[in-house]
């Protein structure tokens, strides 16, 4: 099924899983707006590949409600409506025990990963309800299910994304709006730059398939969840952990 005539927002779409989702949407025929804290990087990613021509790069700090609202207005002004939202923006943060964790770093990670998810979801709800159509996918993490040692803020924030997604899915179940999340294992993306080798090795050791997730594999599932074929599943958590998840 093509996504012709639909429009999608991908936060954090300048790189990593987000950029792979942008490509998947474009291949299917959707129009795409990238909301990213680094709009120059997003525009460079668009300019680097001919098939991304026509995608829109929008500066947006997802922790700032005014910027999120402005990005939504700009997207609607360009495309007319927002059909799909994939919230991929996120950070890993410092690696440290709870006892030694920096309080300001904790708050920053919660602000981006959890509060940012809340804000970007909130910004598109009214338009989706008015059109009785919408598809939302939030990127959580296997860490949100199982907890990674020395990553308390990241694990807690992603667990929060799971709970938030389930809540919103139930709130919007009377509409043709689905709200789901995915729980990826680690993928080799720039987020690895925030992690120690020891932590990366730990994550790999927990994946039964014995390799990291490929971003194209993630994008295949996410773009389906965020498209017209997903007409029933909502409030759900879809696994991308290579066998690590136990539930």
Residue 239: beta bridge partners? 183
| 72 has a pLDDT exceeding 90 | yes
Strands 7-11 and 31-36: parallel
Instruction: pLDDT band for 188, please (50, 70, 90 cuts).
Output: confident
Rounded to 5°, the CA angle 59-87-13 comes to 50
Instruction: pLDDT band for 1, please (50, 70, 90 cuts).
Output: low
For residue range 44-57, list pLDDT tens digits in order: 999 999 999 999 99
The average pLDDT across 72-98 equals 96
Tell me 189's DSSP state.
Answer: S
Catalytic residue among 3, 101, 118, 154: 154
Q: Respond yes or no: is residue 133 known to be catalytic.
A: no
Of 122, 233, 102, give the one whose Cα is nearest residue 180.
233
Residue with tokens 């609607």: 76
The average pLDDT across 170-183 equals 98
pLDDT score for 18: 97
In the chain, where are the structural domains located? 7-237
For residue range 9-29, list pLDDT tens digits in order: 999 999 999 999 999 999 999
Of 179, 144, 139, 180, give the one whose Cα is nearest residue 159.
144
Share of the chain above pLDDT 70, in %: 97
Ramachandran sector of residue 243 (left: φ over 0; alpha: ψ -120 to 50; beta: rest): left
Superfamily of domain 7-237: NAD(P)-binding Rossmann-like Domain (3.40.50.720)
Instruction: pLDDT band for 187, please (50, 70, 90 cuts).
Output: confident
pLDDT score for 196: 76
């Amino acid at each position: 099924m093509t996504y012709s005539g639909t429009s999608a927002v991908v936060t954090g779409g300048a790189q990593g899983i987000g950029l792979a989702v942008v490509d998947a949407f474009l291949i299917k025929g959707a129009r795409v707006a990238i909301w990213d804290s680094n709009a120059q990087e997003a525009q460079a990613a668009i300019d680097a590949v001919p098939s991304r021509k026509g995608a829109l790069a929008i500066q947006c700090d997802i922790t700032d409600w005014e910027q999120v609202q402005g990005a939504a207005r700009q997207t609607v002004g360009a495309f007319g409506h927002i059909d799909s939202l994939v919230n991929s923006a996120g950070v890993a943060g410092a690696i440290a025990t709870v006892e030694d964790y920096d309080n300001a770093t904790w708050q920053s990670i919660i602000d981006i990963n959890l509060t940012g998810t809340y804000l970007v979801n909130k910004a598109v709800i009214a338009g989706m309800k008015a059109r009785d159509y919408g598809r939302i996918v939030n990127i959580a993490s296997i860490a949100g299910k199982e907890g990674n040692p020395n990553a308390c803020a990241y694990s807690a924030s992603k667990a929060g994304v799971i709970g938030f997604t389930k809540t919103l899915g139930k709130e919007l179940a009377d509409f043709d709006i689905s709200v789901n999340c995915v729980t990826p294992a680690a993928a080799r993306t720039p987020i690895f730059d925030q992690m120690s080798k020891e932590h990366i090795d730990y994550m790999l050791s927990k994946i039964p398939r014995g390799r990291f997730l490929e971003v194209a594999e993630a994008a295949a599932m996410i773009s389906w969840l965020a498209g017209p074929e997903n007409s029933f599943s909502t409030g759900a958590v879809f696994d991308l952990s290579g066998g690590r998840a136990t539930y």
